[in-house]
Amino acid sequence: MALRRSFSSALSCIAVAAVVASASTASAENFQAQLGKANTKLAKAIAKQKADLREFDKLIVKEFSLTLELILVKLQKESIEPAAAVEAAADALTAAMTELKGSADFALGAVEAIAATQIDDLGVTTKNFRVGGLGKWDSFAASVGQEVAMTRARIESRLKSFAKRLETKAKKRPLVLRLVTAPLPAQVAPGAHEPQVLQSPVVLYAVSGSSTTALADDGRLSISGTADPSANGGLVHVTILATDGTAFEQDVVAAQNGVFKALFSGNGSGLTEGNYRVVAHQGGAHALAAVSVP
């Protein structure tokens, strides 16, 4: 009888172990299934955001090109002066670059939000969901940077073409219009429940200079970019510094969309021709650029 009870107990232990092993296997299989679904969801989100970003960026370039064409038409009809045409193009450039950064930030934030949810729900440690893990998320962030860079190149190409045509239509009056190198969109904060994009407090997107050949010291500089409208009441301090040490300063306020603009024309008569260093301050942050009054 004792031997039978012992054998029965052993069978019970084996049965319990088998149940535990089966439950453990089922749990592992269930987790793998959930992980597979999470990876699929992430892949679909990445594909959608890539496609949406590409289409939106095409619209940005198209809108920018149409705006430049309209400026040239107005110049041809003499409804605006060449200097105003330069400044209008600079405004269009800042608007395009602001939209480009916004579209990229949105794409990054949308994908990161999904990745963060999977980290919270599954506690997964797979590199695909981790910022800096060199997985799918980081590959997507890199592709966004490449898309932004290509779009910037298309915008710059159209800007150069516009500048050449502007010179011709303005009867060879010297004009300068250039794209300022601004940072690509920053990656979002890792693991955030809500997308938290890490943005530069102040960025310069466009600087432009203009003058006429008939008059000396009649130059104008237009400076535009974006800043944090909630920091210091949106106040941005803009300084231009000539090579001879002459400096001009302005305090401007960023609009709700972050865009700010400063226009310099000296002490009323105009700026001296030459190179200028541009500095935009907001709090402890600053952005630098250089431009000339031709």
Question: What pLDDT score does 198 carry?
Answer: 45
**155 vs 114, residue with greater confidence:** 155
CA 272 vs. chain centroid, Å, equals 34
- Mean pLDDT estimate for the chain: 77
Position 29 in a domain: no
In angstroms, what CA-CA distances link 72 with 152, 213, 221?
Answer: 21, 20, 20
Position 100 in a domain: yes
* The last residue of a domain, from among 172, 190, 212: 172
* The last residue of a domain, from among 156, 172, 188: 172
Position 20 in a domain: no
Same domain, 252 and 125: no
Q: Is residue 221 predicted with pLDDT exceeding 70? A: yes
Calpha distance 168→157 (Å, rounded) = 17
**197 vs 88, residue with greater confidence:** 88
Position 16 in a domain: no
Question: What pLDDT score does 193 carry?
Answer: 45
Same domain, 163 and 206: no
Same domain, 156 and 94: yes
Q: Using alpha carbons, select from 60, 127, 131 the residue that is nearest to residue 98.
A: 60
Q: Using alpha carbons, select from 228, 200, 229 the residue that is nearest to residue 287.
A: 200
* The last residue of a domain, from among 130, 156, 172: 172
| Contact partners, residue 101, CB within 8 Å, separation at least 6 | 148, 182, 185, 226
User: Which CATH number does the domain housing residue 213 bear?
Assistant: 2.60.40.10
Same domain, 282 and 221: yes
Percent of the chain with pLDDT over 90: 16
Categorize the per-residue pLDDT at 271 as very low, low, confident or very high, splitting at 50, 70 and 90.
confident
Position 26 in a domain: no
Categorize the per-residue pLDDT at 166 as very low, low, confident or very high, splitting at 50, 70 and 90.
confident
- pLDDT tens figures, 226-242: 888 888 889 999 999 98
Question: What pLDDT score does 192 carry?
Answer: 47
Question: What pLDDT score does 16 carry?
Answer: 44
Same domain, 120 and 208: no
What is the token pair recorded at 156?
Answer: 């710059």
Q: Is residue 142 predicted with pLDDT exceeding 90? A: no
Count of domains observed in the chain: 2
Structural domain containing residue 76? 36-172
Question: What pLDDT score does 179 carry?
Answer: 62
Q: Which among 1-5, 85-89, 290-294 has the top mean pLDDT?
A: 85-89
Q: Using alpha carbons, select from 293, 103, 289 the residue that is nearest to residue 202.
A: 289
Same domain, 272 and 205: yes
Position 8 in a domain: no
Q: Is residue 164 predicted with pLDDT exceeding 50? A: yes
User: Which CATH number does the domain housing residue 76 bear?
Assistant: 1.10.132
| Secondary structure class of 221 (helix, strand, coil) | strand
Same domain, 261 and 165: no
**200 vs 94, residue with greater confidence:** 94
Position 186 in a domain: no
Question: What pLDDT score does 133 carry?
Answer: 66
- pLDDT tens figures, 248-264: 999 999 988 888 999 88
Categorize the per-residue pLDDT at 286 as very low, low, confident or very high, splitting at 50, 70 and 90.
confident
Same domain, 205 and 167: no
Position 143 in a domain: yes
Q: Is residue 273 predicted with pLDDT exceeding 70? A: yes
Same domain, 158 and 66: yes
Categorize the per-residue pLDDT at 124 as very low, low, confident or very high, splitting at 50, 70 and 90.
low
Same domain, 164 and 207: no
Question: What pLDDT score does 8 carry?
Answer: 52
Same domain, 208 and 167: no
Same domain, 61 and 149: yes
- pLDDT tens figures, 25-72: 546 567 677 777 777 887 888 889 889 999 999 999 999 999 999 999
Question: What pLDDT score does 73 carry?
Answer: 92
